[in-house]
């Protein structure tokens, strides 16, 4: 451990210096223009610096391959990456300070234009059918920072920084990665650039551009262990599946451009109804197209198949890209739909888009349920988390769908709460799930380490090989418990505050505001709340409770540097952050830009806390009261208790869990035991193991149609099209052979031909002239 500390401490001053980057930038502005640069003027650097550092790390790493100093001092590029992310984080915080001091919000976002990407002109047909010049236009690059993007910007840069920190421990101490970590860090910073750029973009076009950059990094990082066929396959699958969504997103952009003549938020959000003249049908299709893109990126049904396989990537990648940031891109895109739907008098939305909102909620509900169901039978710790991610993202989609539905039905207050709760859940989920993946990484890392050197086959990710780790991995097990509690929605912890909001508002819309079509998603996500309690508890119990199931699990201990710090940081945020932000009014701030802490300011802290609790637990409406308590009881009691009956148990004698969670283990053995072997061998379990056959269906469809068609066409090209050319070739050779026979060698024949030739030329000339 002492070694650990020095290793981290040695680098702390450098990271600290990087955090002071904004001062340098202000000073630079002072030197250059006489006035210090503002945070907004520096915001373009947030994605730009990582983007520029990407080739630096990649090339330096390749050139210093195997060099000792590069490995130790630079951590194979890890230190450069961490410093870069520290700079981005510091700029983000600086921007946040400016954002709050200026009082910016949805109506008054921080905006800056950077340059015109392309300039061009368009023509069109006027009413009379004449073609006329339409306009000169340009696609520009700029920044747009309102509440949602500010929140997401912070989440992204903060988590990127922490997960990079974690990676220094996780990646660099694993001999498998030796001498190729530079690739990891290079792609990591490129990903950061993509994510931060997407959040900052001021137009749908640049949102899409950075969206694709993230897709590339996801592909590269899933395939980090490219020599494994499964990783190479998973990477390809992830890219192609999201590409299907992206293509529809692109079509959506084309439609938006056609409708609005621009892709910039400022223009489109200015008046999405175009003074009421917009073609609703066209807009509806455009939004559906955009939504398909979001479905692909956020791994929702039916384009969800790539996410579980994406766990082939190193665990920090799963934590960052496939849990905390990139998969939120789809949510962010859907959150940008609000102005189209808002007919509550606060915006200029378009009426009649309720069906799109219902579609979004349905996809969310189906995915939430389906993913939770599949998570029941997963034995790979990362796969459980992957399905959990899918399920929780689906919650947010449902919440957003409900929010959009409310917006489109003129219910401003309910819409704001639903929207704010969804965005708040995004925050809570990102923090908790990022941490859960890091904690699972810690488990895997230590399992792997314990197994290192032995000759047996053992999958360090399989929970059936674990068990009883709570005493051996105190920090990890505590972090995992807190993260799971946040995801389950245990009252007062993290995700509870937002998840209750989503469930309650969905039922509110479905049952109290006549949204009959929303009943199905409402039922599904209520059910999923209990299922979440089950599979998260099951995961924790299988990993940490009971007796060790293998000899390796018995040898595990926590010792890797760099890993605990981010876990502790995020544990604190998950444990207390949700409550603190709820009291501060995060939901309202995210929903309608009511200033932070209004309630505290007006009524004092104690009142604000009480008010928040009362709102959450004792809604005035009896129906919502019932729903709230059903949700709490099934997620807090029913789900976990069932999981404990199957997988719970005390630790090996002589070991004790850390104090914060030590009460769980004795409790878990009190519920008795259930044997589930019959169920585990049933057809349903088999179907779930095979992921409800989606992968097989898609593989079959591609393998039986596209690939054979491709081979058939290439045969056709070679033999029919080129064959025709070859036929001409052969024919002309034959003709020339025949013509050659005309050279008989007799003078009389030649004179004859000369005469014919002369006549023909004369006739031709006569004809032409």
Name the residue nearer to another protein (CB basis): 137 or 594: 137
Would you say 74 or 239 has its CB closer to another protein? 239
Candidate segments 33-41, 130-138, 154-162, 270-278, binder of another protein by CB under 8 A: 130-138
Task: Indicate whether 250 belongs to the interface with another protein (CB under 8 A).
Answer: yes
Shortest separation between residue 658's beta carbon and another protein, angstroms: 38
For another protein, which residue of 267, 707, 735, 751 counts as binding (CB under 8 A)? 707
Q: Return the range that interacts with another protein (CB under 8 A); candidates 236-244, 531-539, 627-635, 645-653.
A: 236-244
Asked if residue 719 binds another protein (CB under 8 A), the reply is: no
Q: Which stretch binds another protein (CB under 8 A): 89-97, 131-139, 418-426, 446-454?
A: 131-139
Q: Which is nearer to another protein, 224 or 362 (CB)?
A: 224
**Residue among 453, 454, 473, 451 at smallest CA distance from 462:** 451
Residues 6, 116, 656, 760: which binds another protein (CB under 8 A)?
116
What mask, x for binding another protein by CB under 8 A, covers residues 29 to 68? -----------------------------x---x--x---
Q: Are 420 and 527 in contact (CB under 8 A)?
A: no
User: Considering beta carbons, is residue 3 or 227 the nearer one to another protein?
Assistant: 227
* Contacting residue, 14, 24, 267, 721, with another protein by CB under 8 A: 721
Nearer residue to another protein within complex by CB, 9 or 176: 176
Q: Among residues 287 and 343, whose Cβ is nearest to another protein?
A: 287
133 binds another protein (CB under 8 A): yes
3-class state of residue 132 by DSSP: strand
Of residues 709 and 754, the one with the C-beta less far from another protein: 709
* Furthest-apart CA atoms within the chain: distance in Å: 122
Identified binder of another protein from the candidate list 74, 257, 265, 497, rule CB under 8 A: 257
C-beta closer to another protein: residue 62 or 656: 62
Task: Give pairs for 631-635: CB < 8 Å, separation 24+.
Answer: 631/489, 631/499, 631/500, 631/503, 631/504, 631/526, 631/529, 632/489, 632/491, 632/500, 634/526, 634/529, 634/530, 634/533, 635/488, 635/489, 635/490, 635/529, 635/530, 635/532, 635/533
Among 7, 29, 173, 233, binds another protein (CB under 8 A): 233
Rounded to whole angstroms, how far apart are CA atoms 360 and 356? 6
Letters for 741-760 (x = contact with another protein by CB under 8 A, - = none) are: --------------------
DSSP symbols for 145-198: E-HHHHHHHHHHHHHHHHHHHHHHHHTTT-GGGTTTHHHHHHHHHHHHHHHHHH
CB of 120 to another protein, least distance (A): 4
Taking the C-alpha atoms of residue 527 and residue 635, their distance in angstroms, rounded to an integer, is 9
Q: Does 131 contact another protein by CB under 8 A?
A: yes
Window 462-501: contact mask with another protein (x via CB under 8 A): ----------------------------------------
Does position 699 interact with another protein (CB under 8 A)? The reply is no
Of positions 113, 124, 705, 744, contacts another protein by CB under 8 A? 124
> Residue 605 Cβ, how far from another protein at the closest point, in Å?
47
**Beta carbon of residue 259, minimum distance to another protein (angstroms, whole number):** 10
Q: Is 692 exposed, middle or buried (0-12, 13-18, 19+ CB in 10 A)?
A: middle
Among 251, 676, 687, 688, binds another protein (CB under 8 A): 251
Q: Out of 30, 279, 686, 717, which residue is the one contacting another protein (CB under 8 A)?
A: 717
Site string for another protein, 191-230 (x = CB under 8 A): --------------x--xxx-xx--x--xx--x--xxxx-
Handedness of CA 457, 463, 469, 473 (dihedral sign): positive
Peptide bond into 302 cis (omega under 30): yes
For another protein, which stretch binds (CB under 8 A), given 25-33, 111-119, 475-483, 745-753?
111-119
List the Cα angle 699/704/706 in 5-degree steps.
Answer: 90
The number of helices, as runs of H, and strands, as runs of E, in the chain is 37, 2
> How buried is residue 540: exposed, middle or buried, by Cβ count under 10 Å (0-12/13-18/19+)?
buried
- Alpha-carbon gap, residue 256 to 119, rounded angstroms: 18
Q: For the CB of residue 309, give the shortest distance to another protein in the complex, in Å.
A: 14
> Could you give the 3-state DSSP secondary structure of residue 131?
strand
CA distance 310 to 237: 9
Sign of CA dihedral 183, 184, 190, 194: positive
CB of 231 to another protein, least distance (A): 8
Among 2, 9, 68, 115, binds another protein (CB under 8 A): 115
715 binds another protein (CB under 8 A): yes
> Smaller CB distance to another protein: residue 448 or 650?
448
Among 30, 107, 108, 121, binds another protein (CB under 8 A): 121
Q: Which of 29, 45, 243, 302 binds another protein (CB under 8 A)?
A: 243
Q: What is the 3-state secondary structure (H, E, C) of 661-708?
A: HCCHHHHHHHHCCCCCHHHHCCHHHHHHHCHHHHHHHHHHHHHHHHHH
What string of DSSP letters covers 525-565? Answer: HHHHHHHHHHHHHHHHHHHHSSS-SSHHHHH-----TTSHH
| Dist. CA 238–CA 223, nearest whole Å | 10
Q: How many chain residues touch another protein (CB under 8 A)?
A: 63
Q: What ranges in 298-411 are assigned the alpha helix state H? A: 306-309, 315-319, 329-335, 338-341, 354-375, 381-408
User: Is the separation of the CB atoms in 673 and 567 below 8 Å?
Assistant: no
Shortest separation between residue 275's beta carbon and another protein, angstroms: 21
Spatial CB neighbours of 409, under 8 Å, sequence gap ≥ 6: 343, 354, 513, 515
Q: State yes or no: residue 255 binds another protein (CB under 8 A).
A: yes
Instruction: Work out the number of other CB atoms within 10 angstroms of the CB of residue 135.
Output: 10
When asked if residue 705 is in the footprint of another protein (CB under 8 A), the reply is: no
Q: Does 113 bind another protein (CB under 8 A)?
A: no
**Residue placing its CB nearer to another protein in the complex, 6 or 119:** 119
Cβ nearer to another protein, comparing 136 with 748? 136
Q: How far is the CB of 448 from another protein (least distance, A)?
A: 16
Sign (positive/negative) of CA torsion 741, 743, 747, 751? Answer: positive
Return the beta strands (E) in 433-497 as ranges: none
Q: CA–CA separation, 608 vs 620, rounded Å? A: 17
CA dist 645 → 51, 244, 491, 648, 677 (Å): 50, 42, 22, 6, 13
Site string for another protein, 654-693 (x = CB under 8 A): ----------------------------------------
What's the full length of the chain, in residues? 769
Footprint on this chain of another protein (rule: CB under 8 A):
58, 62, 65, 115-124, 130-133, 136, 139, 205, 208-210, 212-213, 216, 219-220, 223, 226-229, 232-233, 235-236, 239-240, 243-244, 247-248, 250-251, 254-255, 257-258, 706-707, 709-715, 717, 721-722, 725, 729
């Amino acid at each position: 451990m002492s070694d650990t500390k020095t290793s981290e401490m040695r680098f702390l001053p450098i990271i600290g210096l990087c955090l002071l980057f904004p001062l340098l930038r202000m000073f630079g502005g002072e030197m250059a223009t006489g006035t210090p640069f503002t945070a907004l003027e520096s915001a373009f650097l947030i994605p730009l610096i990582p983007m520029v550092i990407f080739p630096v790390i990649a090339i330096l790493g390749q050139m210093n391959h195997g060099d000792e100093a590069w490995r130790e001092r630079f951590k194979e590029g890890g230190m450069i990456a961490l410093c870069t992310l520290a700079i981005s984080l510091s700029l983000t915080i600086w921007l946040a300070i400016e954002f709050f001091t200026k009082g910016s919000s949805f109506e008054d976002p921080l905006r800056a234009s950077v340059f015109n990407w392309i300039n061009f002109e368009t023509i069109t047909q006027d009413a009379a059918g004449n073609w006329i010049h339409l306009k000169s236009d340009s696609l520009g690059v700029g920044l747009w920072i309102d509440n949602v993007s500010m929140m997401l910007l912070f989440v992204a840069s903060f988590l990127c920084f922490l997960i990079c920190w974690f990676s220094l421990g996780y990646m660099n101490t694993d001999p498998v990665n030796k001498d190729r970590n530079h690739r990891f860090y290079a792609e990591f910073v490129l990903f950061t650039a993509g994510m931060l750029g997407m959040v900052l973009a001021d137009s749908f076009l640049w949102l899409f551009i950075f969206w694709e950059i993230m897709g590339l990094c996801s592909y590269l990082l899933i395939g980090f262990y490219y020599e494994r066929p499964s990783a190479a396959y998973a990477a390809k699958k992830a890219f192609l599946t999201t590409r299907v969504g992206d293509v529809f997103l692109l079509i959506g952009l084309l439609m938006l451009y056609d409708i609005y003549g621009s892709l910039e938020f400022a223009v489109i959000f200015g008046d999405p109804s175009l003074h009421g003249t917009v073609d609703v049908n066209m807009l509806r299709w455009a939004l559906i197209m955009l939504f398909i893109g979001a479905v692909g990126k956020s791994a929702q049904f039916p384009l969800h198949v790539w996410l579980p396989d994406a766990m082939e990537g190193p665990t920090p990648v799963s934590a960052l890209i496939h849990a905390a940031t990139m998969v939120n891109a789809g949510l962010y895109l859907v959150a940008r739909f609000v102005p189209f739907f808002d007919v509550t008098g606060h915006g200029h939305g378009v009426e009649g888009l309720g069906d799109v909102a219902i579609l979004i909620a349905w996809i969310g509900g189906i995915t939430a349920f389906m993913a939770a169901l599949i998570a029941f039978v997963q034995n790979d710790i990362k796969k459980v988390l992957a399905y959990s991610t899918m399920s929780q993202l689906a919650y947010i989609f449902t919440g957003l769908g409900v929010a959009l539905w409310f917006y489109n039905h003129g219910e401003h207050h309910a819409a704001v709460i639903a929207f704010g709760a969804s965005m708040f859940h995004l925050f809570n989920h990102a923090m908790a799930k990022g941490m859960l993946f890091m904690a699972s990484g810690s488990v895997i890392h230590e399992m792997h380490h314990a197994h290192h050197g032995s000759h047996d086959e053992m999958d360090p990710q399989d929970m059936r090989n674990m068990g009883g780790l709570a005493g051996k991995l105190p920090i990890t097990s505590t972090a995992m418990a807190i993260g799971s509690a946040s995801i389950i929605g245990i009252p007062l912890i993290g995700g509870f505050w937002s998840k209750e909001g989503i469930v309650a508002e969905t039922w509110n819309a479905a049952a109290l505001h006549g949204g009959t079509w929303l009943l199905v998603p409402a039922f599904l996500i209520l059910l999923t709340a209990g299922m979440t309690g089950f599979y998260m508890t099951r995961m924790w119990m299988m990993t940490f409770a009971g007796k060790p199931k293998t000899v390796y699990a018995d040898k595990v201990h926590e010792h890797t540097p760099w890993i605990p710090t981010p876990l502790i940081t995020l544990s604190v945020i998950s444990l207390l952050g949700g409550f603190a932000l709820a009291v501060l009014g995060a939901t309202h701030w995210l929903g309608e830009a009511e200033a932070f802490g209004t309630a505290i300011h007006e009524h004092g802290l104690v009142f604000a806390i009480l008010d928040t609790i009362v709102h959450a637990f004792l809604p005035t409406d009896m129906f919502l009261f019932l729903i709230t308590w059903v949700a709490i009881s099934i997620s807090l009691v029913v789900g976990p208790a069932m999981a404990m009956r199957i997988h719970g148990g005390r630790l090996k004698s002589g070991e004790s869990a850390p104090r914060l969670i030590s009460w769980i283990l004795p409790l878990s053995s009190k519920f008795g035991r259930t044997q589930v072997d019959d169920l585990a061998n049933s057809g349903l379990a088999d179907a779930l193991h095979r992921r409800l056959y989606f992968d097989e269906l898609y593989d079959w469809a591609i393998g039986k149609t596209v690939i054979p068609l491709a081979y058939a066409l290439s045969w056709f090209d070679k033999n029919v099209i080129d064959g025709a050319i070859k036929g001409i070739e052969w024919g002309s050779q034959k003709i020339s052979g025949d013509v050659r026979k005309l050279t008989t060698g007799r003078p009389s024949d030649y004179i004859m031909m000369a005469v014919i030739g002369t006549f023909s030329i004369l006739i031709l000339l006569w004809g032409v002239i």
